[in-house]
């Protein structure tokens, strides 16, 4: 069956880096874009950007340019999100979600990764 399985929760200090993975299974990885969504505690959903799983080209929302990097391990059907120089405001749950290139449907989501940044 189709699954997006994300890595486990992270506890980091300000200034550190974190890498979150999203492993896809049950479908052809390159047939769908992979998007990243942030949800701060008790808040709504915020789009971070996406990566073209066919070309590897990332696109970042304005608020996520600079410290955020999307990457692929295509051979492993895995998308990664790396955040450097962590700040307290990066404390959130991060979701990966696949989007069909033609229908625009966000039909499968990872379970989310809680990242806590605290000194």
Partner 1 sequence: DVVLTQTPPTLSATIGQSVSISCRSSQSLLHSNGNTYLNWLLQRPGQPPQLLIYLVSRLESGVPNRFSGSGSGTDFTLKISGVEAEDLGVYYCVQSTHAPLTFGSGTKLEIK
Q: Of 2, 40, 45, 74, which lies in the binding site for partner 1, with binding defined by CB under 8 A?
A: 45
Beta strand 18-25 with 32-39 is: unpaired
Which of these ranges, 20-28, 39-47, 68-76, 82-90, lies near partner 1 under the rule CB under 8 A?
39-47
Length in residues, the chain: 119
CB of 73 to partner 1, least distance (A): 22
Query: Per CB under 8 A, does 32 bind partner 1?
Result: no
11 binds partner 1 (CB under 8 A): no
C-alpha closest to that of 30 among 73, 82, 94 = 73
From residue 21, how far is each of 7, 68, 90, 97, 119 by CA, in Å?
A: 5, 13, 17, 12, 24
Taking CB under 8 A as the rule, does residue 58 contact partner 1? Answer: no
Provide the 10 A C-beta neighbour count for residue 29. Answer: 20
Would you count residue 41 as binding partner 1 (CB under 8 A)? Answer: no
Q: Is 113 in the site for partner 1 (CB under 8 A)?
A: no
CA-wise closest residue to 84 among 117, 43, 56: 117
104 binds partner 1 (CB under 8 A): yes
Pick the closer one to partner 1 by CB: 29 or 64. 64
Name the helix (H) or strand (E) containing 20.
Answer: strand 18-25
What is the binding site for partner 1 (CB under 8 A)?
Answer: 35, 37, 44-47, 50, 59, 61-62, 95, 97, 99, 103-107, 109-112
């Amino acid at each position: 069956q189709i699954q997006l399985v994300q890595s486990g929760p992270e506890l980091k200090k300000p200034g550190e880096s974190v890498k979150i993975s999203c492993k896809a299974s049950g479908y052809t990885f390159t047939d769908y874009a992979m998007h990243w969504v942030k949800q701060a505690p008790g808040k709504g959903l915020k789009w971070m950007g996406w990566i073209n799983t066919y070309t590897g080209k990332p696109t970042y929302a304005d608020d996520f340019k600079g410290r955020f990097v999307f990457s692929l391990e295509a051979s492993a059907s895995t998308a990664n999100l790396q955040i450097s120089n962590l700040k307290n405001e990066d404390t959130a749950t991060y979701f990966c979600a696949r989007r069909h290139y033609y229908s625009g449907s966000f039909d499968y989501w990872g379970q989310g990764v809680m990242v806590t940044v605290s000194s």
